[in-house]
Chains A and B, each alone.
Chain A
Amino acid sequence: MDFSVAFNAARESLPYMLGGVGWTAGLIIGAMLLGLTLGVPLAVTQVYGPRPLRRMVAVYVWLFRGIPILVQLYIFYFGLLAWLSSLPGLTGIGLDSPFTAAVASLGLTSSAYQSQIFRGAIQSLPAGQLKAARALGMTDAQAIRSIILPQALRLAIPAWSNEYSILLKDSALAFTIGVVEIMARMRSIASTTHEPVSMSFVAGIIFFALTWIGVKGLTLLENKVRIAGYTRQGAV
């Protein structure tokens, strides 16, 4: 291996690889938002909901946490979404695109994990918080919205940043169904240039940088919404 050749190949490939960052970012943002919008109600249901609903959430979580992300990508892309988009009325709205399938499987899996993050955060709040809200005449919905969730979501940010870095790494699997994100570009350029070593280093560095940026961003967010002196037992 000639280092200057490798270095030049890496430098030349950089713009093309960085072009994948947009797709990767789209996947992560889509999946995190999907995971958040489903994860919060799932968590609330699992803590406060009636028993049959709690059971259903537990099954949902078990399903999505038990099936590998790669298998889910295949189920969604080659199976479910392909079938759905063949139904009348659902054709031609992009349901069968690799990107949709990737966001769906990453996001649904993430919703299962995020629901457990939020559940943990809700359960770590002292029971007195809900009691005090009820004692003031709040309905449970009001109490959850204005007392429980604002605290739980803040507590969940560190775990959330962990979830981000997991999603980022999982998103690299989307190349298997044809999303042209970083990993896909790395593979194709590695095979044309015969420089897989330097290419995998470039990809590794890009992913590393994205992890760092995201985690820093979430730490900033955490500090921004932090409440003076507010720490949880054990988290000090």
Chain B
Amino acid sequence: MSEATPILEARSLVKILGGNRVLENVSLDIGRGRVKVLIGPSGAGKSTLLQCLNFLIPPDSGHILLEGREVEKTSKRELCAFRQQVGMIFQDFNLFDHLSALENVRVALMKVKGMSKLEATERAVAELKRVGLADKATLYPANLSGGQKQRVAIARALAMDPKVMLLDEPTSALDPELIGEVLTVIRDLAQAGMTMILATHQISFSASLADEFIFMERGRIVEQGSPADLLARGAQSRTQAFCSKISELTGESGQSGQSGESGQSGESGQSGESGKAGAERRL
């Protein structure tokens, strides 16, 4: 899988929170342009893992390497420089509530990258355009829909030119009808070659993008492999069992990201994509 040096690599991360081992010796790496998807039940440690990857939650032990160089977590300056290169998307958006959409995208460009206001504004406008929100630039977060907020958050992260993006369940706080617009942006990103680690419950959507599924449970990586393998009919994998359980629960409301494609039948063998979607719906 990984032919070149991985962009981001985590080695044996351990995190203990309140006596619980939330991460138990987790290692993973991701190569340029790859998309890896973290799945697993809530409380499995996906979110903790993502936040450990950029030290928002400092791991208790383990190492993180960016392009083969270990990040020195005790150096504040290095930490800030590292985080600039790692984009993070949160479940609940975390837009800065006192700043307009444009200012949200612009603030770090000016404060962190030291760009001039003019330069930063130009860049911010371009990023907002990229996520389809050029006309919402002056609105404040309170006046944006959930889907629009998340797209601004993506624009904000992209503006920093990250080498890798970490997406922590970017659609789980959204109303079903708003999920599609965010997934479209994420798909575009993947197709443009952005390196991403994505935690999500949107199984069928992510199966169409992912190079690898990583199934986590109780702070460990239990299984990993290509979505096709893990979700194959009769694969007997934990991933498969988990995914079929999800689709049972959410089955009729649909994985709204692409409910059109994988739609009614759920039969495999149409396109590759809806085939995988079918796999999660069958049982």
Contacts and interface: CB of A to CB of B under 8 A. Distances in A.
Within 8 Å by CB, do A and B touch in the complex? yes
Interface of A: 126, 128-129, 131-139, 142, 146-147, 150-151, 154, 227-231
B94 A137 contact: no
A136 to B, nearest CB: 4
B124 to A, nearest CB: 13
Contacts of A126: 92, 94
Contact of A133 (B92, B93, B96, B140): B96
Given A136-B84, A230-B97, A128 B156 contact: no
29 contacts: A126-B94, A128-B90, A129-B97, A131-B56, A131-B94, A132-B90, A132-B94, A134-B83, A135-B54, A135-B83, A135-B86, A135-B90, A136-B107, A136-B156, A136-B157, A137-B83, A137-B112, A138-B108, A138-B111, A139-B76, A139-B80, A147-B96, A147-B107, A151-B97, A151-B98, A229-B140, A229-B143, A230-B97, A230-B140
B81 A131 contact: no
Interface string B157-183: 100100000000000000000000000
Given A142-B111, A228-B143, A136 B94 contact: no
Interface residues of B, number: 34
B88 interface: yes
- Of B84, B86, B112, most buried by chain A (CB within 10 Å of CB) is B112
A146 B98 CA distance: 10
Nearest to A135: B88
Contact of A128 (B54, B86, B92): B92
B56 A134 contact: yes
Interface string B81-109: 11111111010111111100000000110
Interface of B: 51, 54, 56, 76, 80-88, 90, 92-98, 107-108, 111-112, 139-143, 153, 156-157, 160
A160 to B, nearest CB: 17
B80 A132 contact: no
A137 B56 CA distance: 11
Closest 4 CB pairs of A and B: A229-B142, A137-B84, A128-B94, A132-B94
A79 B14 CA distance: 58
B98 A227 contact: yes
Nearest to A140: B76
A24 B94 CA distance: 44
Contacts of A139: 76, 80
Contacts of B80: 137-139
A222 to B, nearest CB: 13
A131 B90 contact: yes
Contacts of B86: 135
B111 A132 contact: no
A93 B283 CA distance: 86
B106 to A, nearest CB: 11
Contacts of A154: 98
A147 B81 CA distance: 19
Contacts of A132: 88, 90, 94-96, 153
A228 B95 CA distance: 14
Given A136-B112, A230-B140, 10 more contacts: A126-B92, A126-B94, A132-B88, A135-B56, A135-B86, A139-B76, A139-B80, A146-B107, A150-B98, A151-B96
A59 to B, nearest CB: 28
A228 B136 CA distance: 13
A131 B157 CA distance: 13
Contacts of B140: 227-230
B142 A227 contact: yes
A228 B96 contact: no
Contacts of A128: 90, 92-94
A129 B88 contact: no
B160 A136 contact: yes
Contacts of B82: 137
B142 A228 contact: yes
Nearest to B112: A137
A136 B95 CA distance: 12
A129 B143 contact: no
Contacts of B92: 126, 128
Contacts of B87: 135
A150 B103 CA distance: 13
A154 B96 CA distance: 13
- Of A126, A132, A134, A151, most buried by chain B (CB within 10 Å of CB) is A132
- Of A137, A146, A151, most buried by chain B (CB within 10 Å of CB) is A137
B96 A230 contact: no
Nearest to B96: A147
